[in-house]
A = this chain, B = another copy of it.
């Protein structure tokens, strides 16, 4: 399952739906990314821009690669775009595997590739205006460990 959407989602409901009907699965790992606002850097919203057609294709390719590499039983990715307020879930990745290490590795692999290869761009909205979030070289490093 791949969902690119500007509608809010319920992380728990998504997990429940994903896990059902797989008696051969022993382990599920779920990653949820949320909009963060801290006292040091308070933001009023996060605005995500997206190229939906490309997002769909690239995420599908990353998902297929993860399933093959870690022998996953299933993997699902949901990513939102649009304007999100602090605390709101931005995206969720879920993996299902016979055992825990494959489920953890698969989820981390998906996250590392999504960070650098999925066409989304974040803008932070504060009291004083909006600012594009800069890409982190740490994200490239995280992705490159899988090469």
Contact = CB atoms under 8 A, between A and B. Distances in A.
A128 interface: no
Nearest to A115: B100
Interface string A1-41: 00000000011111111011111111111111111111000
B29 A34 contact: no
Count class of interface residues, chain A: 35 or more
A50 interface: no
Contacts of A107: 29, 104
Mostly, the A contact residues are mixed
A103 interface: yes
Contacts of A98: 36, 38
18 contacts: A11-B15, A12-B12, A12-B15, A12-B16, A13-B16, A15-B15, A15-B32, A20-B87, A22-B34, A22-B87, A23-B35, A26-B33, A27-B33, A28-B32, A30-B31, A30-B32, A104-B104, A104-B111
